[in-house]
Chains A and B, each alone.
Chain A
């Protein structure tokens, strides 16, 4: 079965600084990978996804992520963080076995300092 690890529970960055959120997955074949963001009291919004092709994927709100098969990683990046980016971020994986459900990581809470 697939699994996802987000090693950082909480990250604080200054506004305007760069950001990298880590995600490691465990799955034997090529996974489908997603990053979602959850603002307080809200549902999850899809930031970006990877399923094949170019290993650097662009998403909404200026986010990007890079798939590295050798490291089983799918880290999320943003060159300059805005105060409105403060939220919880979830990495998720889906297998290509036909089971449509997502397996989520435990999430990383991002705090942005002025």
Chain B
């Protein structure tokens, strides 16, 4: 089975440019998560969706960041305008929703990440 697919794997762009990261979750999964990984802050949740609806975006750093999920098989994370401090590895993960008591049986599956460098 195909796992979570992220594109691009690497992105290098100049400060001020718009950046769009893409994610295709595992087919049938109804939860999608965006995480950011940096040396300073480790792995932190940015936003997550359930059935294409954003549930919790409290981790989105500021208005320059936006995320959408137009359908069950595609999500984007956009940064506009980008800044050097946005340089990080961005991960997408998906999971199959489950009743609360069995959540532990439905772990999150991660993509290989997008390494973003803003010059």
**What is the 8 Å Cβ interface bit string for chain A, positions 3-43, against chain B (1 contact, 0 not)?**
00000000000000000000000000000101010000111
Whether B103 lies near A51 (C-beta < 8 A) is yes
Chain B window 57-72, contacts with chain A (Cβ cutoff 8 Å), 1 for yes, 0 for no: 0000000000000000
CA distance A72 to B110 in the complex (A): 26
Residue in chain B with minimal CB distance to A90: B43
Asked, given contacts A100-B50, A104-B43, whether A32 binds B103 with beta carbons under 8 Å apart, the answer is yes
Q: CB-nearest residue of chain A relative to B113? A: A43
- Structural contact, A43 and B4, CB atoms closer than 8 A: yes
Contact of B31 among A42, A49, A100 (CB under 8 A): A100
Shortest C-beta distance, B40 to chain A (Å), equals 10
- Assess A96 versus B56: contact at CB under 8 Å? Given A102-B45, A102-B108, A105-B42: no
- The digit string for B99-119, where 1 denotes a CB below 8 A from any CB of A, is 011111101111111000000
- In the bound complex, do residue A96 and residue B103 qualify as a contact, i.e. CB atoms below 8 Å apart? yes
Contacts of B105 in A (CB 8 A): 49, 51
What is the CA–CA distance of A44 and B107 in the complex, to the nearest angstrom?
A: 11
Count of B residues near A, CB < 8 Å? 28
Question: Per-residue 0/1 for B66-108: is the Cβ within 8 Å of any A Cβ (1 yes, 0 no)?
Answer: 0000000000000000000000000101010100111111011
| Residues on A with beta carbons closer than 8 Å to the beta carbon of B109 | 46
Candidate in A44, A45, A49, A103 with the most chain B CB atoms within 10 angstroms? A44
A42's partner among B48, B103, B112 (CB-CB below 8 A) is B112
B residues within 8 A CB of A96? Answer: 100-101, 103
Q: Does the CB pair B43–A94 fall under 8 Å?
A: no
Our pick among A36, A51, A98, A107 for the contact of B42 (Cβ within 8 Å) is: A107
Cβ–Cβ contact B110 & A49, under 8 A: no
Please indicate the chain B residues that have their CB under 8 angstroms from the CB of A32 in the complex: 103-104
Complex contact B95–A43 (CB within 8 A): no
- CB pair A41–B112 under 8 Å, yes or no, is yes
Contact partners of B95 in chain A: CB under 8 A: 100
Leading 10 A-B pairs by shortest Cβ distance: A51-B104, A43-B110, A104-B43, A44-B110, A32-B104, A101-B45, A43-B112, A106-B42, A46-B107, A43-B111
